[in-house]
Amino acid sequence: MELSVVMPCLNEAETVATCVRKTVGFFEKHGIDGEVVVADNGSTDGSQQLAREAGARVVPVIDKGYGNALMGGIRAARGKYVAMGDADDSYDFTTLMPFLEELRDGADLVMGNRFKGGIAPGAMPWLHRYVGNPVLSFIGRLFFRSKIGDFHCGLRAFNRESILRLGLQTGGMEFASEMVVKATLAKYDIREVPTTLSPDGRSRPPHLNTWRDGWRHLRFLLLYSPRWLFLIPGLVFMTLGLIAGIALSFGPVRVGEIAFDVDTLVGAAAAMIIGFQSVIFALLTKVYAMQEGFLPHDPRVKRVVDWLSLERGLVVGGLLALAGFAGLIASLLHWRINNFGELNPRESLRIVVPAATALMMSLQAVFAALFLSILQIRRRQHPPAVDVAEEAAGVVDAAARRVSGEGDALAADDETSADAEPAEAAATAKAGKSTKAAKSGKGGKAAESGTAKPTEFGSGNVKVVHVKPKDTDA
């Protein structure tokens, strides 16, 4: 099957049948081997039956949420390609041919763009149209260097196997952003097609919540970009704090009529500490996300991690600690010069604040090196003790020896049976003579006293009779 069209559905009785019929008509018109999959998320208005009557295959999805419903439908789809769109009749499923053509041409993901195709009056709230979607799409392009103009378009198509390889996790509306972000990070072939958005055909309010779902999109974009969440803000804080700290350590700084003094120096020290901690968080977050598969491998981060061993981290922390202790000693000497009396804060703070800052950063460096070493423990694996091919060959040889041994054992049993037949006949004859002698009175005493006890050992049909003499008194 070439194309599956997946529609998430939660109480869409007013529009789901219309969407299904349009899609089926599209298949028939263009001769496409396709299906309609309605991923029902627990409808209570009869949407399931209406979808089946219109020609869809209904797949129940227990876990609530837009993303959960779509992933349930995508996994159940049978087509090589999958197109997804809302079941509220806001998108025209008869216009899927450009999406399919791009997929046939080798694209992994084809996004619709409502801003290029047109948004009908009343189809999108003004806050979404002029603030929410443009701002979030801009952040997505900035953070992930994507060229997609409409991150949240609900009509899109993709190669099913390519999307399943991404391991999409989110269950809510942020699923739309996750697909674009992970496809971009995986360097997929992503293309855009102009799409028209029309007012939906429902009489009830939409499931989308402006502030809640907007925040979930923004949160996802931030969490999947440690560079913009931690690294860049941290570098900015560190740079401003370092420049201001160095300038104010030698005396007040005037800018026009404004004078910056030791109060600003304290603020600069705080900026240095916050920035340094933020940069450390960026590194630790990136390493963790790479190991867990949330983010792709980054060779630059690997080079930093390989260089920043535990020992080097301890050395860096130790050097910062030495600088901090040197500053504290200098402040004590300054206090001694003043006979351990009252000090001028403008002079003493210029020594104490940088020293305290260096000490705090030294501990941060040590703790970061320790934590990074803990993260690296998880990804180290020892090579197997035995070569797999050699071990497999050993198993085959052992099996062959066992089969050969069983064959030799069977041959030995046959020889034993052949040799035992004359012995059995002789033993039988001897036993007959003994019996006859016993009956005639010869040897009857021995039989009665039990001086001889016959013992039989048998294997198969062969019996070997041994006569075991009984111990007698001396």
Mean pLDDT is lowest, of 16-20, 206-210, 264-268, 415-419, for 415-419
Element (H, E) at 402: helix 388-440
Mean pLDDT rounded to a whole number for the chain: 83
**Which pLDDT belongs to residue 297?**
84
What is the rounded CA–CA span in Å between residue 231 and residue 369?
Answer: 17
What is the rounded CA–CA span in Å between residue 220 and residue 140?
Answer: 10
C-beta of residue 237 within 8 angstroms of C-beta of residue 271? yes
61-87 pLDDT tens trace: 999 999 999 999 999 999 999 999 999
AA letter at 152: H
User: The sheet that has 190-194: what strands, in order across it?
Assistant: 57-60, 34-40, 3-9, 81-84, 156-159, 109-113, 190-194
**Which pLDDT belongs to residue 305?**
84
When pLDDT is averaged across residues 95-120 and rounded to a whole number, the result is 95
Q: Please, which pLDDT band fits residue 282 given cuts at 50, 70 and 90?
A: very high
Interior angle at CA 173, CA 52 and CA 185, nearest 5: 110
pLDDT at residue 241 greater than cutoff 70: yes
Domain locations along the chain = 3-222, 226-379
**Which pLDDT belongs to residue 463?**
45
pLDDT at residue 272 greater than cutoff 90: yes
Helix axis angle, 133-144 to 175-185, nearest 10°: 20
Within 8 A by CB and 6+ apart from 82, the residues are 3, 4, 5, 6, 74, 157, 158, 159, 160, 163
Highest mean pLDDT among 119-123, 170-174, 189-193, 437-441: 189-193
**Which pLDDT belongs to residue 280?**
94
pLDDT at residue 116 greater than cutoff 90: yes
Q: Please, which pLDDT band fits residue 462 given cuts at 50, 70 and 90?
A: very low
Q: How many CB atoms lie within 10 A of CB 429?
A: 10
What helix, strand, coil percent values describe the chain, rounded to 5? 60, 15, 25
**Which pLDDT belongs to residue 339?**
76
289-333 pLDDT tens trace: 888 888 888 888 888 888 888 898 899 999 999 999 998 898 888
When pLDDT is averaged across residues 200-224 and rounded to a whole number, the result is 87
Helices (H), 145-292: 160-165, 175-185, 210-223, 226, 232-248, 262-292
Q: Would you call 191 helix, strand, or coil by DSSP? A: strand
Higher pLDDT, 455 or 293: 293
Q: Write down the CATH superfamily of domain 3-222.
A: Spore Coat Polysaccharide Biosynthesis Protein SpsA; Chain A (3.90.550.10)
Mean pLDDT is lowest, of 101-105, 166-170, 297-301, for 297-301
Compute the CA torsion angle 146, 149, 152, 158 (nearest 10 deg).
-70
129-154 pLDDT tens trace: 899 999 999 999 999 999 999 999 99
Q: Please, which pLDDT band fits residue 180 given cuts at 50, 70 and 90?
A: very high
AA letter at 370: L
Nearest to 333 by CA among 345, 343, 322, 346: 343
Residue 66 corresponds to which tokens in the numbers above? 């837009």
Give 352-396 as a 3 state SS string.
Answer: HHHHHHHHHHHHHHHHHHHHHHHHHHHHCCCCCCCCHHHHHHHHH
Nearest to 177 by CA among 210, 129, 131, 144: 144
C-beta of residue 38 within 8 angstroms of C-beta of residue 74? no
Nearest to 117 by CA among 198, 199, 197, 194: 194
pLDDT at residue 258 greater than cutoff 90: no
25-71 pLDDT tens trace: 999 999 999 999 999 999 999 999 999 999 999 999 999 999 999 99
pLDDT at residue 161 greater than cutoff 60: yes
Q: Please, which pLDDT band fits residue 466 given cuts at 50, 70 and 90?
A: very low
What is the rounded CA–CA span in Å between residue 148 and residue 151?
Answer: 6
With b meaning 16 or more CB within 10 Å and e meaning fewer, what string describes 300-332? ebeeebeebeeeebeebbeebbebbeebeeebe
**Which pLDDT belongs to residue 347?**
81
**Which pLDDT belongs to residue 413?**
58
| Percent of the chain scoring above 70 in pLDDT | 82
